[in-house]
Structure 1
Amino acid sequence: MGFDICSRPRNAATTRAAILEAANARFLAESYDQVGMRDIARDVGVDPALISRYFGSKEELFSSVIENCGDASALMAGDRATFGERVAHDVIYGPRKEFKLRWLLLMLRSIASPKAQDVIQRQSECNFMTPFTQWVGGEDAEIKARLTAGLIMGLTVSRDISGGFNLTPDQCDRLHRRLAATLQDFIDN
């Protein structure tokens, strides 16, 4: 694991990005408690003090890694009236999203650490659940958002882990229709 930043111009943005990339690789390979700032610094070829200068603490560095994992904007893009159809189509027929599986692995690998757990929960709320819940709106917005997110996440992880749903095209079509109706119902009612 090493990132050669010697061939790149040394500037704050490039160095910060290299540190973030190395931290992401480390947190994917090891749990939060196993990752050391010195290890990340060695991977990038910088002094550990530089990581502290850019990110503050290991917890803040981990928070930056988690923050780069994504947000709820893709779910909220598009017409609200076609939400169920769009999302169901992506879940059933969309491509496997490696970055989302890496994000899940990163979180699962570190969730046992109280510090990492706090960061994961904070980032999940700030970057995903709060904006999505606000977008859902209305009575029981929190419940509707949690049901929707849980169903989407569960089916997506199931699909990606097993390599697909192992269903016939007709079964996929029926699953798509039922999922679209269920997701739309979660949002609308």
Structure 2
Amino acid sequence: MSFAVCPRPRNAAATRAAILDSASRRFTAESYEQVGMRDIARDVGVDPALISRYFGSKEELFRAVIDDCGNGRELMEGDRSTFGERVAHDLVYGPRKENKLAWLLIMLRSASSPKAAEVVQQASSEGFYQPFTEWMGGEDAVVRVRIAAGLMMGVAVGRDLSGGLNMTPEECERMKARIATLLQDLVDG
């Protein structure tokens, strides 16, 4: 039995968003190689050529999905002197961030693809590591950024994947204080 796909009404922004949403769901659930442009087009009810018109290649669509997950630039907003405290508070008490988990799943599912891995590395570098390194500045900024990123990602992913920190309020406060000190020491150089 086949089903007729109803054509989407003409609205470029809505169609582009629907394509991006479908691609995000597929890249989160399947590897880069398993995701097909025709499948995404079918999900959205558009011709595959329209996806190419909006995004170019599958690689460019993949990059748009990664960019849509966020890039961490919000970390650099605010006073440098309160960086450790702000980020530590978010890591311990902040809400679960679905877009960060989607980013992780996309990275894990696509790690075996050389093309996808290259896109992920480029997006990470351009959208997070380079700006964070420039913002941090000073001696060994690259090293300090990698340590800070590892600490932040590790705590956030561990918290979100395990369903929370499962600690007493006092333990949460002590954890926040330790993370704040570590991160601020890295920022201050």
- Once the two structures are superposed, the pairs formed by residues 23-172 of structure 1 within 5 Å of their partners are 23-172=23-172
Residues matched between the structures, number: 185
Distance in 2 between residues matched to 1:4 and 1:174, nearest whole Å: 56
The SS at the match of 1:34 is coil
Distance 1:98 1:4, change over 3 A: farther
What CA deviation, in whole Å up to 9, does each residue of 1:9-32 have, x standing for no partner? Answer: 413222211111111111111110
* Matching residue's letter, 2:182: T
The SS at the match of 2:112 is coil
Distance in 1 between residues matched to 2:114 and 2:77, nearest whole Å: 34
Distance in 2 between residues matched to 1:108 and 1:125, nearest whole Å: 17
The SS at the match of 2:33 is helix
Distance in 2 between residues matched to 1:161 and 1:4, nearest whole Å: 38
2:157 aligned with 1:181: no
Offset at residue 72 of structure 1 (A): 2.3
* Structure 1: 5+ residue stretches without partners: none
TM norm structure 1: 0.93
Offset at residue 96 of structure 1 (A): 1.2
TM norm structure 2: 0.93
Offset at residue 168 of structure 1 (A): 1.4
Distance in 2 between residues matched to 1:94 and 1:109, nearest whole Å: 26
Q: Is the 1:5–1:18 contact (alpha carbons within 8 Å) kept by the matching residues of 2?
A: no
* Matching residue's letter, 1:28: T
C-alpha RMSD of the superposition: 1.4
* Structure 2: 5+ residue stretches without partners: none
Offset at residue 49 of structure 1 (A): 1.1
Q: Is the 1:72–1:129 contact (alpha carbons within 8 Å) kept by the matching residues of 2?
A: no
Offset at residue 4 of structure 1 (A): 7.4
* Matching residue's letter, 1:81: S
What CA deviation, in whole Å up to 9, does each residue of 1:116-154 have, x standing for no partner? Answer: 001000001011111111110111111111111110000
Distance in 1 between residues matched to 2:123 and 2:87, nearest whole Å: 22
Query: Percent identity between the aligned chains?
Result: 65
